[in-house]
Amino acid sequence: MITLPPAPKVDTPQRRERSVDRILQILEFLHSHGEGIRIGALAKALNAPRSSTYTLVNDLTEAGLLEASLDDGRIFFGKRMYLFGLNYIRENSLAKRARLEVDRLAKETGETSEFCMLQNGRYTIMHMCLGNRPFRISSAVGIQIPIPWTASGRLLLAGSTRTEIEELIAEEDLTLPNGRHIALDEFIAAIDEARREGFCLTKGLVDAVTQCLAAPIYGAEGNVEATICLVLPVDLSKEQTMKLRGQLLESGRRLSSQ
pLDDT in tens, 157-168: 998 999 999 999
Residue type, 162: R
C-alpha to C-alpha distance for 202 and 195, rounded to whole angstroms: 14
> What stretch(es) of the chain map to CATH 1.10.10.10?
13-80
Distances in Å between the alpha carbon of 12 and those of 50, 55, 130? 22, 18, 49
Cβ-contact 245, 199 below 8 angstroms:
yes
pLDDT of residue 9: 47
Question: 224 forms bridges with which residues in the sheet?
Answer: 218
Residue range 68-86: average pLDDT? Answer: 83
| Helices assigned H by DSSP within the chain | 13-33, 39-46, 50-62, 79-91, 93-109, 151-156, 162-168, 184-197, 238-255
pLDDT of residue 87: 78
pLDDT greater at residue 68 or residue 216:
216
Asked if residue 6 has pLDDT above 70, the reply is no
Asked if residue 228 has pLDDT above 90, the reply is yes
pLDDT in tens, 198-207: 999 999 888 8
Angle, helices 13-33 vs 50-62, to 10°: value is 80
| CATH code for residues 13-80 | 1.10.10.10
Asked if residue 3 has pLDDT above 90, the reply is no
Asked if residue 153 has pLDDT above 60, the reply is yes
Asked if residue 243 has pLDDT above 60, the reply is yes
Cβ-contact 215, 254 below 8 angstroms:
no
CA 72, 78, 84 angle in degrees (round to 5)? 165
Residue range 83-101: average pLDDT? Answer: 83
Q: Express the helix, strand and coil content of the chain in percent, nearest 5 each.
A: 50, 20, 35
Residue 234 three-state SS: coil
* Phi, psi (rounded to 5 degrees) for 159: 95, -10
pLDDT of residue 152: 94
pLDDT in tens, 8-64: 444 555 554 577 888 888 888 887 777 788 888 888 888 888 888 888 988 899 888
Neighbours of 255 (CB within 10 A): 22
> What stretch(es) of the chain map to CATH 3.30.450.40?
92-255
pLDDT of residue 172: 92
Distances in Å between the alpha carbon of 7 and those of 15, 90, 120? 16, 47, 40
Q: CATH assignment of 92-255, given 3.40.50.300, 3.40.50.620, 3.30.450.40, 3.30.70.2740?
A: 3.30.450.40
C-alpha to C-alpha distance for 215 and 230, rounded to whole angstroms: 9
pLDDT in tens, 211-221: 999 999 999 88
pLDDT of residue 135: 58
Q: Which long-range contacts (CB under 8 A, 24 or more apart) does 57-62 make?
A: 57/26, 60/23, 60/26
Distances in Å between the alpha carbon of 141 and those of 30, 82, 115? 15, 12, 9
Cβ-contact 38, 74 below 8 angstroms:
yes
112 pLDDT band, cuts 50/70/90, is very high
Mean pLDDT score of the chain = 85
